[in-house]
Structure 1
Amino acid sequence: MLQSGYINFFNANKCGLYRHFSETASGLDLVDTFSRLRSWKDGRNFEATNPWDPAKNRNKTPCYCHAIHHDNETGDYMLVLWKGDSDKHGPLYGITVNPDGTIEQAVEQTKTKGKKQMIWGRPCYYWVVPELNIVASIKFDNSRTDSAMFQEWVTGCMNFRVPVPEYRVSSTEKGFTRFEMMDEADKFKYYFQFDLSMKSLATSSAEMQNLARRVTQIVRRETVSIKEVDKRKGFAKLFKNFEVPYISAEDNSLRQVELRVEAKPTVKEIETIIETYAADHDSKAWEDVGFVLDKSKSIVWASNYRLTEHISIEDHGKPVFKADHIYANIKANRDRYLGPLRKDLIKKQALANG
């Protein structure tokens, strides 16, 4: 069956070892990081690819690595992660873990039989393009995208699991992982960072230019926890100051908050807003950032201006794509997918060079 999905692109703002307040990496760049992740994953049993101890991190969503594929010709990496999941939004899948740590083909929950150990979840697909310093998430109906989880998984693996013998690695009192060079002349302390931001349409596009002309307000929506506030403090007190009818915090620990601010952002500022705040979630959620347009007063959400491409792949009746199979399809269309990114990069380099 042919499965249709879409590709969202992200800027890899940071990947590597950084000193405090530094913007320049001193090692473990995008190529080195994912090369090490691939070597570490090979031969490791499935459960051991979750970088967090489940007993000590019960509030953190478990994330496992199903496969990492590397293409020698392009230098790209294709990752299939497994997001531990138990919600009911769409089909749920289970992976059987054998006594030796190997896994079997994922099976839809409604088709599972027997009492074998299962890890429930959904696949997540990520395409890493070191050539352009870009990461892309690939979303199908039966998969998930979670850029925050992906960043945490990469960071967790590099901090706690992946061997880096050329560095001295230690933990701080607050639980951060610190890297130090073996060279005694370099006395600095480094910390691994992996930071992504949504890739927006090029600022030169007609859509972005038209949006900038029409924006009158910026909208920010958040879900705020008031569980710890004492009745009339914090957000509760703020609501009271604005004379908003308010029910005691005791009845509910969460409130949906919307803030609208009059603004006429430039195209560049809109690009920054989109790349920083555009929502990256699979289902409808309250949290988002958008723009109120003149006359119509309608809201256009920032996520509508993400740089997106469509993709179609034959699944051969399997619920999870293999990493090399999905990448073969991407590689066949790679120039088309990356064309807009290359053009945008050339324009930005031309502007930077005057």
Structure 2
Amino acid sequence: GSWSVVEACSGVRYLIASVMVGVLFAYLNYRSLHRRLIFIGVAILVPIVANWVRAYLIVLTGHLSGNTLAVGADHLIYGWVFFGVVITLMFMVGARWNEPPASPKPPRATLAPAFVATPDRRLWAVAAAATVLLIVPHVALWALVKSENTGQPRLAASAVLADGWQASESRPANWEPAFQGAAVAFNQGYSNRANRGQEVGLYVGYYRHQDQTHKLVSSDNAMVKSSDTSWSQVSVGARRLQIDGAALTVRTAQLRASGHAGATTATTNRLVAWQLYWVNGTLTANDQWAKACAAVYRLLGRGDDAAVIIVYAIDDGGGSTSTEAALESFLRANLHGLSQRLADVRDGS
């Protein structure tokens, strides 16, 4: 079978839980700062290594059992049992360097009532600071939400684009990118009769009010899902372009259709697809940079509007030179206009 590590099983919760209990264990069992810091470091390192072992054992179990074990919800049970064993062993090892509690200090002599001190002003300062720290995040979050566009974005495919590209009645192939949770999306074919009849497909998925289930950058979003029975991803890569005098990197992929992909022929069963993100006006193909830009723009009060742009064309079989030339020609002519159109959608135009 085909195995992949999805976001829900990436071990983030595993790491968070280990750090939390590791900090608590270090605080309760050690008095010196350096021992506490060492154990907290171990609590960070151990779950990372253990998660590699867990993933390997789950895949190995599925392989040796003919994909009858550890392929459903049971692999979650195996993972958490393994997590419990690892945490227990970590505590047992850490307990060997347990530090006894410090001897209690002798009680201070009771002061006469005349010498009882008034409340320290620093106590009031700490209380005021704590109050501010509790209130400010809520006020900031309220301000961010109020500044965002609350309307439903409106986005439709244009009938005519620049440099002779016009909308077609059909797409180059019966393929849909596996991007979930978009507020609005379209998948449109375009042809250019003035340029040897080149045909290109354009998919745009627009995201607004992103959350855990509706977000642009996610392990659940891909050109093709591993469970897809119609299309498979043969290879991935990157390509550097020069568009409007600026360097731009796009993510590339070669796709192949199976017998379940609908009406495909020997000349339409392979695609070349290029992908990039539009994040509030910034173009990038890097997941981490897209997330960082989205966070910064939202903190600046500009909302979290973003989109995925995918262009694709049929691999003509004579190498991908002519196919890539068609995709590059399409982007050179229309990427600037498409970016402006997405900015208009963001601004409600």
Q: TM-score range by the shorter chain?
A: under 0.3
Q: Which has the larger radius of gyration?
A: 2
TM-score by length of 2: 0.25
Higher helix share: 2
TM-score by length of 1: 0.25
Structure with the greater relative contact order (CA < 8 A, sep ≥ 6): 1 or 2? 1
